[in-house]
Amino acid sequence: MALDNGPTMDQILGWCKRRGAIFPSSDIYNGIAGFFDYGPLGIEIKKNLKDAWWNSMVHQRGDIVGIDCSIIMHPAVWKASGHVDGFSDPMVDCKVSKMRYRADQLYFAKITVAGELLGYVSVLEDENMQSEAEQQADKLKRKQAKQGTLDPVVLKPYTEAMPGEYALIPSPATGQPGSLTAPRAFNLMFQTHVGAVVDDSSVAYLRPETAQGMFVNFKNVLNTNRLKLPFGIAQMGRSFRNEITPRNFTFRSREFEQMEMEFFIQDNADWQHWHQYWVQTRFDWLKSIGLDEKRLALDVHRPEKLAHYSRACTDITFHYPFGVQELEGIAARGNFDLTQHQNASGKNLEYFDEAEHRSYLPHVIEPAIGVDRLFLAVLCSAYHEESVENETRIVMKFHPQIAPVKAAVFPLVKNRPELVEHAKQLHQKLTRHWFVQYDESGAIGRRYRRMDEIGTPYCITVDFDSLEQGTYTLRDRDTMEQRRVSESELMTFLLEQYS
């Protein structure tokens, strides 16, 4: 359930379609599940989010540098990281509908007769059963000691009318038991081939995450930069996962962008301190770009939910209209990744600590966030509907740094050439610094509403006083208040807002 006064997914989807923010990929061919195209407005928001992250994570710090790695890497990278053998989900198919589901996402409800617990049955789309389902899946995965291998779940009958019989989990597609296949591992990596020959020797993969590129380049970055621990390597880029059931718009898709940073620390460092430091730093940053603090929370992973190499992991969650979900993860990964790649490649990846006169493999703290998930969270935080003068005003209250259009310039009327010319000259001056739109179509009030709906923080109107006194009307998006400013005051104000 959405929070009080929060937008619904229908409202978010309607805004994206109406304003051309996101389109289904290959739309004229009825689309392809799990892939999306960002329109002119959407790509501006997305670019601003990435710029804000890069500025905060790299440019404003002296201990983090950036890198950009290729999407296709040597397949040995993914063998060493464990993705080839273990990057899989448990999958079941419905033999009747041909639909495919993740076995560990079928929700379970307790079945009782006269107070006696008989077993579990799947209940699709029941949020209250999510925790129960995750616990059952965790137990099975730990029992098998690897991801993906699950046994079929067999339940005792619903009533005493079926003595000695058993009921399988019903198919979510048909509601009938017996049509689901036994769960089997389904690797999430997209496979491709490199070179002219298509055989097992040419197999490669589209990367499922950006992190491994930073680990395999650890020594390259260390040797070409004057870096001492602790330091970080940051990267933004596309990743690909062949999700069984992509869902919830851009939240879970098959092609997405990630922003990740690997922060390397001494092997004997206080890793708990650094982990908490990055949890708080990332939480504060998300608030600083305009995310609704009431929708943010921390989810500290229980020890039994951690990967075998992980010391700790905390998710920053966001309350989307479809429920509370992970937005960003901050993991203490130990030195597992560097160890794996050092062993598999035979190359020395150790760091020589001059102060302690010894070599070792550093440990790492990893904050990782999906751009597309962040984009959706920003839309949910920004969307507002207000009643103004007996009509509904839709306003996207983006943080000024994230707003796709920074300002709009209007001539009061378009049938006065002197106003139009002056407004166009002002527009040209402002576009040297920011993305600013010019609009002369329709009544001034309607132009304000259009800019409110796409989240433009400020509108500047050129009127007859502008010609005589050199001042303009500056309107604030959120308060709708207007004030007169000179051109120099306008430039100073906008520079303060966007610097």
Q: Can you say whether the dihedral through the CA atoms of 59, 60, 65, 66 is positive or negative?
A: negative
Backbone angles phi, psi at 319, to 5 degrees: -85, 95
CA pair distance 188, 181, nearest whole angstrom? 19
Residue corresponding to tokens 């440990």: 363
Q: Can you say whether the dihedral through the CA atoms of 121, 126, 129, 130 is positive or negative?
A: positive
Distances (CA, A) of 446 to 41, 393, 416: 19, 11, 19
- Mark out the alpha helices in 359-455 (DSSP H runs): 371-382, 417-431, 444-454
Three-class secondary structure of residue 33 per DSSP: coil
Q: For residue 106, what pLDDT band results from cuts at 50, 70 and 90?
A: low
Q: Which two tokens stand for residue 497?
A: 């807002």
Question: Per-residue pLDDT tens for 312-368?
Answer: 999 999 999 999 999 999 999 999 999 999 999 999 999 999 999 999 999 999 999
- CA-based radius of gyration for the chain: 27
pLDDT above 80 (res 490): yes
pLDDT above 90 (res 169): no
Q: What is the DSSP string of 64-79?
A: EEE----SB--HHHHH
CA pair distance 173, 459, nearest whole angstrom? 51
Q: For residue 214, what pLDDT band results from cuts at 50, 70 and 90?
A: very high
CA pair distance 483, 494, nearest whole angstrom? 14
- pLDDT of 144: 45
Is residue 394 within 8 A of residue 385, CB to CB? The reply is yes
Q: 10 Å Cβ neighbour count for 499?
A: 7
Backbone angles phi, psi at 336, to 5 degrees: -55, -50
pLDDT above 80 (res 150): no
Please tell me what DSSP assigns to residue 206.
Answer: B
What mean pLDDT do residues 412-435 have?
94
Is residue 136 within 8 A of residue 107, CB to CB? The reply is no
405-498 topology per CATH: Rossmann fold (3.40.50)
Q: 10 Å Cβ neighbour count for 447?
A: 18
Is residue 108 within 8 A of residue 99, CB to CB? The reply is no
pLDDT above 60 (res 151): no
**Helix-strand-coil split of the chain, %, nearest 5:** 35, 30, 35
Dihedral of the alpha carbons of 267, 271, 273, 278, in degrees to the nearest 10: 110
Domain locations in the chain as residue ranges: 9-84+203-380, 88-187, 405-498
pLDDT above 90 (res 157): no
pLDDT above 90 (res 304): no
Identify the helix (H) or strand (E) that includes residue 438.
strand 436-438
Choice among 48-57, 101-110, 159-168, 222-231 with the minimum mean pLDDT = 159-168
Q: For residue 87, what pLDDT band results from cuts at 50, 70 and 90?
A: low
Is residue 422 within 8 A of residue 462, CB to CB? The reply is yes
Query: What mean pLDDT, rounded, does the chain reach?
Result: 85
Q: For residue 152, what pLDDT band results from cuts at 50, 70 and 90?
A: very low
Question: Per-residue pLDDT tens for 288-302?
Answer: 999 999 999 999 999
Q: Which two tokens stand for residue 444?
A: 């001034």
Question: Per-residue pLDDT tens for 198-211?
Answer: 888 899 999 999 99
Q: Write down how long the chain is.
A: 499
pLDDT above 90 (res 19): yes
Exposure letters 373-383 (e unless 16+ CB within 10 A, then b): bbbbbbbbbbb
Please tell me what DSSP assigns to residue 292.
Answer: -
Domain 9-84+203-380 has CATH 3.30.930.10: yes
Q: Provide the pairing of β-strand 407-411 with 458-462.
A: parallel
